[in-house]
Structure 1
Amino acid sequence: MQDNKRSDRIPWLCKLHDILRRDVASGQHVVLACSALKKAYRDILIQGKDDAPLQCDQSGKGEKPVEVKLLVVHLTGSFDIISGRLLRRKDHFMPPELLQSQFDTLETPSAPENFIQINVDKNLSEIIATIMETLK
C-alpha cells in the first residue's frame, strides 16, 4: 500500500517539477507550497524523475531531467501546536486524525539539501523576514 501511495504522487510531483522548470526558465521567481514530506519527493521536485514509470516532461528524448534550484523552507512545530491550529481551521481538506501520519512520514531535510528550518512559534512576519533574508 505504501508503494501505491508513493507511485500515486509521482505524476503530481512531476507536474510540479515541470511547472517550476518552465517558470524558472522564463525568468520568474517561484514559491511552491506543498507537503513534500519525504526526501524522494523533494528530489523529484528538484531533478524530475528519470526512473519513474511516468516520466516528467523532458525537452528532448534521452536528455536528463532539468534540475531546479530549490530552497526548502521546513516549518517545524510540536504536534500539540500544529494539532491545535488544525482543529481551529474551518472547512479544511485535511482531517485532524491524519496529522500523526504526517509526522510519522516526515523525513526532515538534511545536508546536502538546500533548506532552512523555521519554528512556527514565530509570527508570520518573522517567518517571512527569515525566508527573505535567506534568499538574499
Structure 2
Amino acid sequence: MSLNGSCVGRLGATYLDGDDLHPLANIAKMSQGIALNDDDRWPWLTPVGWALAAAEDPLIIGCSALKRAYRAHITQAAEAPVTFIHLAGTPEIVTARMNARTGHFMPPELLASQYSTLEPPGADENAISVNIDQPLDAIVDTIVTQLGGMRR
C-alpha cells in the first residue's frame, strides 16, 4: 500500500521516498539483513531535513523517523516546523504489506528492529497518528482531515 499517490494529490504536495536519500552504505547494510543504528541513521536524516528546507512547494517525505531525537533532527535540518504523520499499525499488518511489495532493499526481517527503536510521537510533537488498519481511502481521508485542522 502506498499513500504517496492518493494523499499527495489531495494535499497538492510532491512525494519523495526517503529511502532514496539513504547513503549507499545503509542500503548495503539493510540489504544484508543488518539493522541500522543511530550512527547509520544520522547521515540519512540530515538530507531528509535538507530536502524539506529546499522544497518550494509542499513536500511529503516517506521516512521512518522512529525516535523523537530523529524528528527533532529533521526539523532542525529543515530550519522550519515539520508536521510528522505517524502511520501506526501492528507488526503483522506492516509485515504483510512489506511482503506484498517488490524490489525494495529492506527485508521484512528487519521490521522487529524498527519496532524496538520506535518512539511514537508525543502529544507535544507536531505530529498526527493514523491507524493503518483500514482501507487506503480511509487512511488518506484521516490524514487530510487531521492536517486540515493543524497549523502548518
Q: TM-score, normalised by structure 2?
A: 0.67
The within-5 A match list for 1:14-93 is: 14-23=46-55, 26=56, 28-48=57-77, 67-93=79-105
Task: State the number of aligned residues.
Answer: 113
Equivalent residue, structure 2, for 1:11: 43
TM-superposed CA distance for 1:5, in Å, is 2.9
TM-superposed CA distance for 1:109, in Å, is 0.6
Structure 1, unmatched stretches of 5+, are 49-65
RCO greater where, 1 or 2, for CA within 8 Å and sep 6 or more? 2
Change (3 A) 1:74 1:92: same
- Check whether the contact 1:45–1:68 (CA below 8 A) recurs between aligned residues: no
Structure having the larger proportion of residues in helix: 2
Give, in whole Å, the separation in 2 of the partners of 1:10 and 1:78: 26
Q: Runs of 4+ in structure 1 displaced over 3 angstroms? A: none
What secondary structure does 2:62 align onto?
Answer: coil
- Check whether the contact 1:20–1:30 (CA below 8 A) recurs between aligned residues: yes
**C-alpha root-mean-square deviation of aligned residues, in Å?**
1.8
- Structure whose alpha-carbon radius of gyration is higher: 1
Structure 2, unmatched stretches of 5+, are 1-35
Q: TM-score, normalised by structure 1?
A: 0.74
